[in-house]
Every structure is written in C-alpha cells, then in structure tokens.
Amino acid sequence: MSEITRIRSVGVYTPALRIESESFADAWGQFDPPGIESKAVPDADEDALTMAAAAGRRALTAAGIDGEAIDWLGFATTTPPLAEGELTPRLASMLGVNERTRTQTFLGSTRAGTRALLAGASFETALVVAADCPHGAPDEQREHAAGAGAAAFVLDPDGGAIVTDHGEYATPYPGTRFRSRGGEHVEEIDIGSYERRAFSETISKAATSVPTEGATAAAVQAPNGKRPYRVTAALDIEPDTISTCATVHELGDTGAASVPLSLAHALTDGDHETVLAASFGSGAGADVFRIEVEVEDAVMSDCAFTGERTLTYPAYLRRRGSVTTSGIDTGAAYVSVPSWERSLPQRHRLVAGQCPDCGDLMFPPEGACSGCGELVAYEPIELWTTGTVETVTNIGRGGAPPEFAEHQARAGAFGVAIVRFEHEGNTVSLPGQLTEEAAVGETVVPVIRHIYTQEGVPRYGVKFTPLTAHR
C-alpha cells in the first residue's frame, strides 16, 4: 500500500423502523432471503443522503472534531437521490465541511464503500461515509432482503486502527447484481450458481495477497444472511469470525454500506485486535483488507445499530411508497431554488446570528436586531443542540400544503412545533416539523431529513425528534 489508512473514529446510523421476516412470510407465503431475521426500513423522509449526514455527524462527534477539520470527504452509495447531480457538496454543507474541501462520490457498486475508505488514506484528515437503501420489486427476494443504514469513519494520523494490507481483484461477471438505466430496482439474472461463483471467486482472488491469520472478526459483503459464509475457506476463518460483527441478520442487505457497517460493529466491539474486511461489487470486483487495532478501545465510536419501532407489512409498503402516489411539484409552501440555496446554512445546520452589541439571537441572521434594533454583522452560531417544544400541532390528511401530501400519505399525520433554543443565556424560537410525537415542554434534537421535492430537486433540512427517541 502506498498510503496508510488509520481509523480514528466511527459513526453509525440506522433507521429506527424495522420489519421482521415473518411479516413478509405472512404476506407472500414465504420469505426467500436466508439468514435475515429483520431489516431496517427508512422512514418516508429518509434516504441515503440523510442517513449519511447522521452517520457523518456521529463520527465527527466521536472524534471530537468538527467539519472544518476535514481535508477530504468521500460519500459512497448505490442509491443516490439523484441519478445525476453532485450530492457530496450537500453532505458537506450538512456537516459543516469547508466549501474548499475536496469531495468525491463513489457510485455504481456495492464495493463503493470500501473504495471510498481506501481512497481516504491519501489525505491528512478524511471523513468517509457509506450509506445505502436498495430497492427490489415487491415480490422478489432482493426487496425482501433490502435494508438500510450508514457508517462513517474519520481517518487521520492519530487513528488507532490501521489498514496494514490490501488486495483487490476484478474480472467480468456480467449479469450479477445490477440496476438498469432509469430503474429503481436491483436486478440479477437469477442463476444462483453463477452468482455464488462470482462472489466466491472474486473475493478469493483478492484475498491471496492479504494475510488472514489471527483475525477474530471479518466484515464480509452480505446480500443475504448466507452468502458471506461462503468465503470462510478463502479467508481461512471460522463462521463465527463473520457472525460476531455481521449486521445483515438484523439490518438486511445494506448495499455499499454492508461492509462498512460490519466493520464499524467490529471496531466498536473493542474485543478484536485483527479485523478483516471483504467487499464485493457485482460486475465483478472485490477488496480485501486487514486491520490491526493498536490498543483496546483505540477507535472512538458513536453508533446506533438497534431499532425501536416494528412495522406491519402494509405500513412497510406505505413507507416504501409502493402504494402511494407522488406529490405534486408546487404548492402553498413554494420556495424558489435560489431562495432555498441562500438559506442552506439555516436549513442544514441551524446557523443563527448573535448580535455583537446586545447578545440577542436572530434566526435567520438578517435584518435589524430584535433586541437593540441595530443593523449589525451577526456572529454565526450553530444551534445544533437540544431545544424545548413551546407549541405543537398535528397535520393530518388534507391539512398540509400539497408538496407535503406524499409524505403524509406514506408516514401518516405529522407534528409541527415551535422550538426554543438557548445560547449563552439568550433564546430564539423557530418552527419545524417533528419526526415523532412530542409534547409541549419536551426536549428535542435536530436531525437532517428530506423535506419535499420541488421542480424535481430534493430539498433537505432540519426536523426535530424527541431526545428520548434519538438514537
């Protein structure tokens, strides 16, 4: 290896929603993906970008740094909210990463997460985020297996986990997992022996240049709960070396985030001095690398692997948008794209302004100060902390502007609140949507979610979730 990858911290975000395999079996008479007991389900306002923002912020918090410290930001996914259009700059804005920081997006392969992780070694302080939420046709195994989640890693010279060896291999295997142009659903040619051979051969060849002895955990690509165990011989490991950090059994197939999530689980565990990682991207290519952990608890972490709410199958179909219609493109809450762009610091990071004369807070930070009436240059203050609900109301069917109709159809009635924030003894209140029920006086925290899509452009911003439900 020309550069040394050192992992300083990890952050993991997985959606709170889960659906159990029995729910699919009841609906379809069978559940095809082996080894999956449940899977994570994105809420109606969650996608790969919002999950990436949540995981990235967790990794930064664990490392004790902010976005300004990042020299390079890498984002990996197979399910970008836009087929064309840079998304990593939006992620940078959500995380407070400097606009001059180099960014790179990795797409088109479930191997993308490890490609991003290895690429980050070229920079002093890097943030690598892999997030995915694949889809399949409702009656297919790939949809039954399709999960969701995100893992993020801060890489810098102080990292306590070191990638010491790396091998890769690529050979043509057309027809294994793919998504056609303009399609939303993952497809395969469904020749099981061919797909298994592509997986095993590619990882096996990549592993020939990587010493695997002594590993006690192995993060292996997992399109289902059985496939990763097919490479135990190639990696010269026992099945429990994989199962000790596998996330597929509870989260499902997480695509480009599959190996990063399992790797984060192994590093968070703290019991492993040597960890292997083996990714597979259909087409086909593979990365295998060995990680040595210098000392116990060397990697700082802020991870959420568990879910809190179980969905029925009909509720699952609503969240996926399988039985709802799309919202219309304009409505009462219309905001032009240029106006939206100018307010991104407020929408992405809750940047308020503090008056240098009287200390009052202004949100947004513009116009004359409400405290002293002076026109001043406000000091930017991020309100990314806890707030208190002052008032709340619920928006049900027919009560929301048209652009929120699709969200309401998929997720049901939602709350809108006025939330009070404090900074240095001063307060400011602002409106926002709630992701879950919250009462007046309850403490809430900001989260990044999809607001709506208008003029074909996904709009993202802050919503609030109760502190008791924040994971």
Question: Is residue 332 scored above 60 in pLDDT?
Answer: no
The whole-model pTM stands at 0.94
Confidence category of residue 343, pLDDT binned at 50, 70, 90:
very high
User: Which residues lie closer than 8 Å to 385 by C-beta, 6 or more apart?
Assistant: 421, 445
Alpha carbon distance 35, 211 (integer Å): 28
Between 7 and 468, the more confident residue is 7
Task: Identify the pLDDT of residue 69.
Answer: 96
CB-facing half-sphere around the CA of 394: CA atoms within 13 A: 10
Alpha carbon distance 131, 249 (integer Å): 18
Confidence category of residue 189, pLDDT binned at 50, 70, 90:
confident
Question: Is residue 325 scored above 90 in pLDDT?
Answer: no
Task: Identify the pLDDT of residue 327.
Answer: 54
Question: Is residue 335 scored above 90 in pLDDT?
Answer: no
Q: What is the mean pLDDT of residues 309-322?
A: 89
Question: Is residue 375 scored above 50 in pLDDT?
Answer: yes
* Burial label, 32 (beta-carbon count in 10 A; 0-12, 13-18, 19+): middle
Task: Identify the pLDDT of residue 2.
Answer: 42
Alpha carbon distance 273, 295 (integer Å): 8
Question: Is residue 399 scored above 80 in pLDDT?
Answer: no
Question: Is residue 1 scored above 50 in pLDDT?
Answer: no
Q: What is the mean pLDDT of residues 307-315?
A: 91
Alpha carbon distance 258, 147 (integer Å): 10
Question: Is residue 190 scored above 90 in pLDDT?
Answer: no
Please state, in angstroms and as integers, the Cα–Cα distance from residue 133 to each residue in 57, 256, 344, 410, 470, following that order.
19, 9, 25, 17, 20
Question: Is residue 67 scored above 80 in pLDDT?
Answer: yes
Mean predicted lDDT score pLDDT of the chain: 91
User: Do 59 and 113 form a contact (C-beta atoms < 8 A)?
Assistant: no
- Name the residue among 167, 175, 169 with its Cα closest to residue 200: 169
Q: What is the mean pLDDT of residues 360-366?
A: 94
Alpha carbon distance 59, 292 (integer Å): 19
* Burial label, 261 (beta-carbon count in 10 A; 0-12, 13-18, 19+): buried
Task: Identify the pLDDT of residue 398.
Answer: 64
Q: What is the mean pLDDT of residues 183-210?
A: 90
User: Do 155 and 129 form a contact (C-beta atoms < 8 A)?
Assistant: no
Alpha carbon distance 294, 288 (integer Å): 20
Percentage of the chain surpassing pLDDT 90?
A: 75
pLDDT digits (tens, 9 = 90+) for 131-162: 999 998 888 888 999 999 999 999 999 899 99
Helix (H, G, I), strand (E, B) or coil at 177: coil
Residue 201: how many CB atoms within 10 A of its CB?
17
pLDDT digits (tens, 9 = 90+) for 263-284: 999 999 888 999 999 999 988 9
Domains and CATH numbers, the chain: 5-320 (3.40.47.10), 337-469 (no CATH)
Alpha carbon distance 281, 178 (integer Å): 10
Q: What is the mean pLDDT of residues 178-191?
A: 84
197-202 CB contacts, 8 Å cutoff, 24+ apart: 198/173, 198/282, 198/284, 199/227, 199/230, 199/231, 199/280, 199/284, 200/230, 200/231, 200/234, 201/171, 202/169, 202/170, 202/171, 202/173, 202/280, 202/284, 202/285, 202/286
* Burial label, 380 (beta-carbon count in 10 A; 0-12, 13-18, 19+): exposed
Q: What is the mean pLDDT of residues 70-77?
A: 98
Beta-strand pair 300-303/285-293 = unpaired
pLDDT digits (tens, 9 = 90+) for 423-462: 999 999 999 999 999 999 999 999 999 998 888 889 999 9
pLDDT digits (tens, 9 = 90+) for 217-270: 999 999 999 999 999 999 999 999 999 999 999 999 999 999 999 999 999 988
- Name the residue among 303, 289, 12 with its Cα closest to residue 161: 289
Q: What is the mean pLDDT of residues 52-75?
A: 97
Q: Which two tokens stand for residue 342?
A: 């100018």
Alpha carbon distance 27, 442 (integer Å): 38
Alpha carbon distance 375, 373 (integer Å): 7
